[in-house]
Structure 1
Amino acid sequence: MSQLDFDVVIIGAGVIGLAIGQRLAGRGQQILIIERADQFGGGASSRNTGCIHSGAYYPSKSLKAQLCLRGRELLYDHCSKYDVPYKKIGKVFLATAPKYIDGLIKIKNLAESNGLSPLLEIDGPDIHRFEPFLKCDAALLCPESGIVDSYALMLSLVVLGGNHGLTLATRSRVISGKPEKGFWRVYTIDESGKKTFVRARWVVNAAGIWATGISRSTFPLRTIPEAHPVKGSYLQLTGPSPVSRIIYPDLIPGKISERVDATPGIDGKLRFGPSVDAAASYEDYRVADNLKERLTPLIQRYLLNYNTLKLSPDYAGVRPKIKTPGNGAPDFIFDWADEGGWLDLWGMESPGLTSALAIAEHVEFLAGETGLI
């Protein structure tokens, strides 16, 4: 590669960056992933419930819908092939009162439009046949959802990529990039304050919540979405889970609201959340104050006979949401810089984990279109 250090520099070692790196390394590309933290996947990729989304309620023809459906398929195959712990347990959408039934109708229509098999409609009194400890006015059952061990998934990508020569550099923060003739200089700074750069033919900015800031420092005159980080905290229920499936109560597609979704984890623990809170920083992982008091009344709307004394604060994460003019809930954005060879990934929030392998496939396609691979 003469004057180049790598074919591709990927910024960010979350599940999306790792998936892209693993896929491109398998194509024979020399890959460097640069991660600011001391290990991979320490941000949004691991601070979630590990839900494998079905793709039921994302806007039709959106990238979120398309990549979620494709990603789910790839993810289940990957987990089976490489012994990554997962369970296909299904998801139940609930309407806890008549006013939420319109939301179920919207979910059902979107699911059909997105190509899912018809969701099973359940009358309120019949929910006990599926989940004895639930109460609701109506429900939908989606069998395609599941849960995955997100750390094991990311570790498998690191190992597979490493088998093809992928290099992972941690504790190094990307400052900006600079285009040169036929390559990019990517400038970094480490924990000691030492600055350096690496050279690569092209760059993928998959830095999650940090992505827009890196884009802005590299392209000060470019139109870049506004970062809108949202903190979500979770409660954990001690003891056996009263539900066997993922439970989503009163979901209104496209609306950001405080959630008390119940997700049985791979570790056997049931978690409720996420809340919606302003993040004091991109790494504000403090569990929100009064979380139990805030979420308990919402949980009691649909869950019967559980001991609130067994609820305790668990963890928090910061979701890499963005805002674009006139759109508070934008789609996934893949955007090439005008200079060429620099691809920004913005707004890679949920369903990013489910979509990760399909996002990697999509990046490979985009790079092929431009002749980079």
Structure 2
Amino acid sequence: MDEVECIVVGGGVIGLACGAALARGGREVMVLEAENAIGTQTSSRNSEVIHAGIYYPQNSMKALFCRRGRDLLYRYAEERGIPHRRTGKIIVATSSEQLSRLGQISQRASANGVNDLRMMSQSEVQTLEPRIHCDGALLSPSTGIIDSHALMLALEGELQNHGGMVVLQTEVSAMTPRPSGLIVETKGAQAGRLKARHVINAAGLRAVDVASRVPGIVRDAIPKAHFSVGHYYRLSGPAPCNRLVYPVPEPGGLGIHLTLDLANQAKFGPDVRWIARPDYSFDDSAKERFAAAIQTYLPDVTADQLVPDYTGVRPKIAGPDDPDADFRIDGPRQHGIDGLINLFGIESPGLTSCLAIAEYVADLTEQPTARLNSPN
């Protein structure tokens, strides 16, 4: 039976970032990915936005990791030539009630250390983005976009340059705790048994399932898995705005927003539809409702301009009637298994937070009972 110091389960952006951070610290690392390529699920089916850290409860993992991760990600992208752009974002209010909520969002952002937001009047918004109709808005200049696939390739390259490896088409079928680590059983292209001192469960949509396969784990430490699918439409024709445009957030997500890719192609999404299990099929039946949501702030966008593009599924740990859940990063103190770290519910702003999460996970392998501290 082969031995490796650290196994990371999942080759999405979080798993690759964790693997690169561990390898950078001198660890022997193997990343196991069940699919035939890296980042084929949540990591490549999102808005590719670098979030500023505006919306999340103060001192939550989402708030701390997003703010720290944003700065790390911009620096990482600049140093490695990863395509990205600070586009800025406008959060629009389309009613007097939403205007008051903008004030609450601004206060929450300030509590999270995001101090560059600016309130804008209707006329100021029209000057910047003439096609937007709103009663007022918040401008977030530090929001941006990034090529998520190029980011994952850079992380994979860094991992490999430090002696780590990514093994594709290899699924974890079981894990058995031992006093000096865990025995990991795999199936697929590289079927067999491996012994690891540390296992990082960054399996995303499968993270709850992977954790459930560990005998002796504290069952109350495993959340229930929930899934929501979001649909994205591409806009035919030129982009109507130069910045990202978001409505005031709605339960379960940030609303149907306008984002741009690095070729300046506009897309809208995602909506939030709860599903029993991951399913990437595109349901075009709600296009008119989708268009109606867009028209609250871009009234000249019509349904016939929307072209079905793709869907993304979020690994949620709170259901449709529950308050939004924070990220969960659980070590032995939470679940009772030495050497195992479970990452649950790493949805938005997971892409933005990936380097900060990886930094924290690497520290946890050194001090497994550490608590999250506010990053500098």
Could you say which TM-score interval applies, normalised by the shorter chain?
over 0.9
Letter matched to residue 214 of structure 1: V
Distance 2:337 2:233 in 1: 46
Deviation digits for residues 248-284 of structure 1, max 9, x if unmatched? 11225xx2158220001123211111011133532x1
For 1:3-18, what aligned pairs fall within 5 Å after superposition? 5-18=3-16
Displacement after TM superposition at 1:118 (Å): 4.0
Distance 2:236 2:57 in 1: 36
Distance 1:127 1:371, change over 3 A: closer
Letter matched to residue 175 of structure 1: S
2:359 pairs with one of 357, 361, 364? 361
* Aligned counterpart, 1:262: 258
CA contact (8 A) 1:90 1:141 kept: yes
Indicate whether 1:313 and 2:308 are aligned: yes
Distance 2:289 2:213 in 1: 39
For 1:113-152, what aligned pairs fall within 5 Å after superposition? 113-152=111-150
Distance 2:218 2:70 in 1: 37
Moved over 4 A (4+): none
1:105 pairs with one of 103, 110, 134? 103
Distance 1:121 1:216 in 2: 46
Indicate whether 1:206 and 2:202 are aligned: yes
Distance 1:33 1:352, change over 3 A: same
Displacement after TM superposition at 1:119 (Å): 1.4
Distance 2:363 2:254 in 1: 36
Secondary structure at the aligned position of 2:288 is classed as: helix
1:292 pairs with one of 287, 294, 307? 287
Displacement after TM superposition at 1:97 (Å): 1.3
* Aligned counterpart, 2:373: none
* Aligned counterpart, 1:243: 241
1:275 pairs with one of 242, 250, 271? 271
Distance 2:287 2:210 in 1: 36
1:332 pairs with one of 306, 324, 327? 327
Distance 1:51 1:31, change over 3 A: same
* Aligned counterpart, 2:49: 51
Secondary structure at the aligned position of 2:366 is classed as: helix
Indicate whether 1:63 and 2:61 are aligned: yes
Secondary structure at the aligned position of 2:110 is classed as: helix
Letter matched to residue 26 of structure 1: R
CA contact (8 A) 2:260 2:266 kept: yes
* Aligned counterpart, 1:370: 368
* Aligned counterpart, 1:343: 341
CA contact (8 A) 1:258 1:276 kept: no
CA contact (8 A) 1:258 1:273 kept: no
Secondary structure at the aligned position of 1:74 is classed as: helix
Secondary structure at the aligned position of 1:5 is classed as: strand
CA contact (8 A) 1:4 1:201 kept: no
* Aligned counterpart, 2:186: 188
Letter matched to residue 294 of structure 1: R
Secondary structure at the aligned position of 1:320 is classed as: strand
Letter matched to residue 30 of structure 1: E
After superposition, the CA RMSD in angstroms is: 1.9
Distance 1:371 1:303, change over 3 A: closer
Distance 1:85 1:257 in 2: 26
Distance 1:270 1:341 in 2: 44
* Aligned counterpart, 1:161: 159
TM-score, normalised with respect to structure 2: 0.92
Distance 1:226 1:323 in 2: 8
For 1:74-93, what aligned pairs fall within 5 Å after superposition? 74-93=72-91
**Higher mean C-alpha displacement, 361-370 vs 17-26:** 361-370
Secondary structure at the aligned position of 1:10 is classed as: strand
CA contact (8 A) 2:226 2:276 kept: no
**Higher mean C-alpha displacement, 167-176 vs 84-93:** 167-176
Distance 1:291 1:271 in 2: 16
Displacement after TM superposition at 1:346 (Å): 0.6
**Higher mean C-alpha displacement, 330-339 vs 32-41:** 330-339
Give the unaligned 5+ runs of structure 2: 371-376
Deviation digits for residues 105-130 of structure 1, max 9, x if unmatched? 12101111011124111112331111
Give the unaligned 5+ runs of structure 1: none
CA contact (8 A) 2:281 2:311 kept: yes
* Aligned counterpart, 1:21: 19
Distance 1:121 1:370 in 2: 42
CA contact (8 A) 2:288 2:303 kept: no
TM-score, normalised with respect to structure 1: 0.93
Letter matched to residue 75 of structure 2: D
Distance 1:365 1:213 in 2: 25
Aligned-pair identity (%): 37
Distance 1:121 1:349 in 2: 28
* Aligned counterpart, 1:177: 175
CA contact (8 A) 1:111 1:118 kept: no
* Aligned counterpart, 1:216: 212
Letter matched to residue 256 of structure 2: V
Distance 1:371 1:272, change over 3 A: closer
Distance 1:321 1:169, change over 3 A: same
CA contact (8 A) 1:93 1:139 kept: yes
